[in-house]
Amino acid sequence: MTNAPKRYLVLCTGNRCRSQMAHGWLQHLGPEVLGESVDVFSAGTQPKGVHPLSIKVMAERGVDIAGHSSDHVDRYANQSFDAVVTVCDSAQEACPVFPGAERTIHHAFDDPDDKTGTKTEEELLPTFRRVRDEIGAWCRAFLEAER
């Protein structure tokens, strides 16, 4: 009899950048670090679609998140998770409690998106790459602690 894969839910308000990157990293790194695949989901309280630069910078590291969807947290309300991870301060405050989660973890990352809409892609890419790498390092450490 095999054990069920670990289940993780990553939350961020817009489910556009940080939570999508964490979702991708956890799914990508799970087999390498844990020796088995993991079930990862991401959602937000105000989902806005996956940011194209999130897709682009993750692809630079060999992680494909192009097929991800931007889901509302209510979709996962009655499910069980090994951990629910909030990656922005707004999500920590605004997201509902998940009674089916063994634990909730908060680790905020900078928002790489430009809320003003004044920056070019070239101006945004360095921030997206920095945040991608910070999230990737955190996800690796998180999974190593899960072993």
Q: How many residues does the chain have?
A: 147
Catalytic residue among 33, 53, 83, 95: 95
Residue 95 and residue 118: Cα distance in Å, rounded?
Answer: 29
Residue 105 pairs in a beta bridge with 85
**Phi, psi of 37, deg, nearest 5:** -75, 160
Catalytic residue among 83, 88, 91, 131: 88
The total of other beta-carbon atoms located within 10 Å of residue 57's CB is 25
Catalytic residue among 10, 11, 12, 87: 12
To which residue do tokens 């309280």 refer? 45
The total of other beta-carbon atoms located within 10 Å of residue 10's CB is 29
Is residue 17 part of the annotated active site? The answer reads no
Please identify every residue annotated as catalytic: 12, 88, 95
